[in-house]
Amino acid sequence: MMQAELIEPSHPELMKFKLLRNVLLLAALQSAISPAFAQNACPLSTEKQANVAQLFFGRSIEGRKPLTDAEWSEFAATVLSRYFPDGFTAYDGDGQWFDPRSRKIVRERSKIVVIAFTGSDEEFSRKIHAVSSDYRGRFRQQSVGLITEKACAAFRSDGSFRSRIRSIP
């Protein structure tokens, strides 16, 4: 006659099985839920997902004096404001970078611009590239530094985030 062996809940093999089962169940549940949360994962209900860019505009211009405050103001008013009419933040910086042509470290004053944009990724990319291209051409720059990231943003005290972004031809 065969006897069944009673497995105690504290048996090491049973505990390993239960732990493995729970880990696999948790992983499956997380992978099923994560995409839904990722679409609206802002911690505050008043926030919207946004693309954020930090642009670094050098003020040194080869063959002439550095970019003046008046020239910067005109660029900000006519170019940045046209592409990002909902606003941006600009502040002064001191930067340095390696110039591959001269093989030297270059130090220069810069303007740093922070933009939060809630339109499509494609529109964001197009506008950032247009601003960068305009600045490089207008002020004979080799490059404009750029850092982008995804973030959550809200700008109005009542919690709404309005967007007046219109298409720029």
pLDDT in tens, 135-158: 999 999 988 999 999 999 887 655
In degrees, rounded to 5, the angle at the alpha carbon of residue 115 between the alpha carbons of residues 109 and 118 is 170
What tens digit of pLDDT does each residue of 46-82 get? Answer: 888 999 999 999 999 989 999 999 999 999 999 999 9
**Alpha-carbon distance 81 to 120, whole Å?**
18
Q: In 11-98, where does DSSP find H-type helix?
A: 12-39, 69-75, 81-83
| Type of residue numbered 88 | F
What pLDDT score does 42 carry? 86
What pLDDT score does 142 carry? 87
pLDDT at 99 over 80: yes
